[in-house]
Amino acid sequence: MDTLFKKSKKQFFAIFSFLFLSFIFCTNTAFAADAEKIYKQNCAVCHSLGKNKLTGPGLAGIMTRVPSEQWLFDWIKNNKAMIAAGDPYAVKVFNENNKADMTVFASTLSDDEIKALVTYIKAPPAPKEEGPTTPTGDGAKVVAEEGVNPLAVLIGIIAFLIVIVAVLRGVRHSLKNLQNEKMGLPEEEAVGPWTELKAWIYTHKRTTTVIILIITGGLLTSGWYALKGIGVYADPETEAVYHPDQPIAFSHKIHAGDNAINCQYCHSGVERSKTAGIPSVNVCMNCHKGISTGKLEGGTAEIAKIYAAAGWDPDKGEYNKPQRPIKWIKVHNLQDFVFFSHQQHVKVGKQDCAACHGEVKEMTTVKQVQPLTMGWCIDCHRKTEVPGMKDNPYYESLHKKLAEKYKGQPITVDKMGGIDCVRCHY
């Protein structure tokens, strides 16, 4: 009995150690994620983690510039107090950055959060060159929603179940031997879980076969749906959307919604080209030469990024700086073997942009809200009536034939060949 107890104790200690280390790993991961979230929410608008200066200086190598880590902590907590107290380095930083006011975080961040932020700034994660490749291979990243780490939950559940099974097996064996001792029978030796499992399988062949078939069917079904979802970055049913971070937080709600700027002012190719086109920074400067402050929090800093890209000096009112391209991340991607024309849908088909892109006028940075799968497009072609066919001489003979063929039915896109394979794949 003592030998059995010692063996079970060792197994329990090993399992407990595994569970404890898994918890520590997941906790550290969550701590790093929280620090990154604090940085993005409070600092990323004005500071980059590299050497590039935005509204404030880049944070790369900051520990070699500031007097101490404690100084950096105090600066983040209440920089205005340090400047008012005449701290030499604080005054120097303030003057070097055009005396721009920095947010005081004493009331919004706790000391522990500021410490986590300082640790994150000291050693930020290495920037990734690219995220998961999109259908067009442009390397745009898929932004995962923040929340519970499913891997951590799975590890915790498995470890918990292992502990429960090990304890129950030990208890069962101990009770069995107590019963044998009471009945004068010899004590049974402990049997390993694998040996016990093999014995159970041998005596329950039919049940084992059914379990294997169910597991195999479940894995095949899961694999089918996983493969089916490759390249699909939006699911209206689950509200999972592709919403990448853009280099400039351009708000469509402010521009297309509040200010009612026509989509075609910026996307000028939508009525005369296959692609809608991404506006050049010069289009932005048409308005922002005279608009340097934004309505939203951080908007002024985002406009400053436009100036940096255009090489515009707002103080002197001239282009006297080097230009830099804006590396926009494409949101709506179709595979290379799919033909789609914006002109055909917007100009001829008279479709509203929201049909495919959602209510962009209510969005800040654009997100993909429709799956853009073949099934979704075919379903749209089966429901959408062809506009202007009766009044367009180009369609006169075609409309006459279709009206005779589909008497009393609306002429939808599929009835004039809109779901033929060669329309989109050729």
Residue-wise DSSP of 19-73:
HHHHHHHHHHHHHHHHHHHHHHHHTTTTB-SSS-BSSS---TTGGGTSS-HHHHH
H or E segment and range at residue 3: helix 2-42
In a domain, 330, yes or no: no
Q: Look up residue 271 and give its two tokens.
A: 């009525």
- Percent of all residues in the chain with a pLDDT value above 90, rounded to a whole number: 23
pLDDT at 60: 83
pLDDT-derived band at 326 (thresholds 50, 70, 90) equals: very high
In a domain, 211, yes or no: no
Q: Look up residue 227 and give its two tokens.
A: 């493969």
Average pLDDT value over all residues in the chain: 80
In a domain, 392, yes or no: yes
Region 83-89 average pLDDT: 90
Beta bridge partners of 47: 53
| Selected residue with higher pLDDT from 99 and 115 | 115
Region 307-328 average pLDDT: 92
pLDDT at 309: 94
- Residue 108 CB: number of other CB atoms within 10 A? 12
In a domain, 131, yes or no: no
What is the tally of structural domains in the chain?
A: 1
Q: Is the pLDDT of residue 313 over 50?
A: yes
Task: Label residue 264 exposed, middle or buried (CB < 10 Å: 0-12, 13-18, 19+).
Answer: middle
Q: Look up residue 129 and give its two tokens.
A: 């060159």
In a domain, 326, yes or no: no
pLDDT-derived band at 98 (thresholds 50, 70, 90) equals: confident
| Selected residue with higher pLDDT from 394 and 338 | 338
Q: Is the pLDDT of residue 350 over 80?
A: yes
| Selected residue with higher pLDDT from 169 and 16 | 169
In a domain, 58, yes or no: no
Helix, strand, coil percentages in the chain from 3-state DSSP, rounded to 5: 55, 5, 45
pLDDT at 148: 58
CA-based nearest residue to 174, from 359, 2, 408: 2
| Selected residue with higher pLDDT from 179 and 142 | 179
The residue to which tokens 């907590």 are assigned? 77
Q: Is the pLDDT of residue 209 over 90?
A: yes
Q: Is the pLDDT of residue 281 over 70?
A: yes
Q: Is the pLDDT of residue 266 over 50?
A: yes
| Selected residue with higher pLDDT from 8 and 62 | 62
Q: Look up residue 147 and give its two tokens.
A: 């929340």
pLDDT at 400: 83
Spatial distance between the Cα atoms of 333 and 336, rounded to a whole number of angstroms: 9
In a domain, 377, yes or no: yes
Query: Which residues span the domain enclosing 404?
Result: 373-426
| Selected residue with higher pLDDT from 211 and 45 | 211
Sign of the C-alpha dihedral, residues 128, 134, 137, 140? negative
In a domain, 408, yes or no: yes
pLDDT at 137: 36
Region 138-150 average pLDDT: 48
pLDDT at 28: 45
pLDDT at 377: 93
- Percent of all residues in the chain with a pLDDT value above 70, rounded to a whole number: 83
Region 415-421 average pLDDT: 90
Beta bridge partners of 313: 318
Region 389-416 average pLDDT: 83
In this predicted structure, which of 25-29, 101-105, 399-403 has the lowest mean pLDDT? 25-29
CA-based nearest residue to 92, from 83, 100, 104, 101: 83
Region 36-41 average pLDDT: 77
Q: Is the pLDDT of residue 19 over 70?
A: no
Region 283-309 average pLDDT: 88
pLDDT-derived band at 134 (thresholds 50, 70, 90) equals: very low
pLDDT at 129: 42
Q: Is the pLDDT of residue 136 over 60?
A: no
H or E segment and range at residue 117: helix 111-122
